[in-house]
Amino acid sequence: MTARHIGVGGAPGTDAVPAGPDDGYLRVHGIRVRYRDQGARDRSPVLLLHGIGRSLEDWEGLYGRLAPDHRVISVDLPGFGLSERTTGRYSLESLARFVIAALDLLGEHRPLHVVGNSLGGAVAMKISALEPERVRSLVLANSAGFGKEVTIALRVLAIRPLARRLMKDKSRKVAYRTERALFYDKKFVTEERLDHAQEVSRNPGRDDVLIAVASHLGTVRGVRRRWRTRLLRTVAAQRKPTLVVWGAEDRILPASHLEHARQVFPHAEFHLFEKTGHMPQIEREEEFDALVRRFIGGLEAGG
C-alpha cells in the first residue's frame, strides 16, 4: 500500500510520510490521521479498533492473517497513536463518527466486520448504534461497556490535576509499568513495544485526549453506568452476530464483565482465554485469529 494524504474533499496528495511500510495518512475533519489499509479491496471489509491511549500496532499480528481474504482497515483514533487530536468535546459518539468519516474517505461503505479491543469495543458498538447498516458483525475483545470495575490507573484520570501531574513522566519506567499491566506474561513487554509506547506518549494531544475520554467514560468510582446501559440496550436489540472474548487475567477490565456480557447479549458467542490479560489479540495471537476467522467465515459462508 502506498501512503496517501487525503483532504476532506477526497483529493489525494503527497505531503505525508508514512509511519511504517504499510501506513498512510488521511486528513479527516481537518486533522492528520494515521491509518492502515491492507488486503484486496473487493473482499469483505474488516475494521480493527484499538483501546484508550493505544494505536493500530495492537493488531500487528492480525493484518497479514486477515488480508488474504478481507480488506483490513485500522486507524489511530484522534489524539492517540500518531494521529492528531480533534478540537471540541470527546465522546463515544464523536469517536464513532470520526471513524465513519475516515471510512467514507477511504471509499468503504459496505457493512463491516468490526473488531474492537477495550475502548475500541465500545466505539465499535457505538458505530453500530449510530449507523446499523455499516456493521455486519461485532468482535468485542475485553471491551469497555460491560461493567463498572476498571483499573485504578484509569479512574485517577478523572482527577484532572493529579492526572496531569502523573502524565508528565514519560520515562521508560512508566512505559514499562503501563505495558506490564496489559499482559499476563511479561515476555510480551518487549523493547520494541516500550520504544513505541514512549513514542506515542509524546503525541502532543495525547494527554489531554486521554483525560477527556477517560472522564467521559467514567469517574474515580469506575465506568459510568448511564452510557453503558443505553449502548448495550441499543446494540442488544439489533441482535447482530457478535463474538465476545476476554482474558481471564485482565487487570484493566476484569473477566467478570464477561458474565454480564452473557446476560445482555444472549445471542452472542463467548470465549475466555486462560492465563491472558487485556489484549488476547497479542497474547493469544494464533487462537484469537482462528476464532475471528472462524466467526467471520461462518457468517460469510451462510450468506
Domain residue spans of the chain:
40-149+225-301
Beta strands in the chain (DSSP E): 5-6, 12-13, 23-28, 31-38, 44-49, 70-75, 112-117, 135-141, 218-219, 222-223, 242-247, 269-273
Q: What is the pLDDT of residue 303?
A: 65
Q: Which band of pLDDT confidence, cut at 50, 70 and 90, is reported for residue 40?
A: confident
- What's the CA gap between 79 and 81, in Å, rounded? 7
pLDDT tens digit sequence for 161-187 = 888 888 898 999 999 999 999 999 999
Q: What is the pLDDT of residue 22?
A: 67
Calculate mean pLDDT across residues 199-204: 94
Strand partners, 44: 70
User: Model-level pTM?
Assistant: 0.92
Among 165, 169, 167, which Cα is nearest to 205's? 167
Q: What is the pLDDT of residue 159?
A: 87
Element (H, E) at 250: none
Q: What is the pLDDT of residue 161?
A: 87
Architecture of domain 40-149+225-301: 3-Layer(aba) Sandwich (3.40)
Is residue 205 pLDDT above 50, yes or no?
Answer: yes
Calculate mean pLDDT across residues 185-202: 96
169 burial type by CB count under 10 A (0-12 exposed, 13-18 middle, 19+ buried): exposed
- What's the CA gap between 290 and 87, in Å, rounded? 39
Is residue 263 pLDDT above 60, yes or no?
Answer: yes
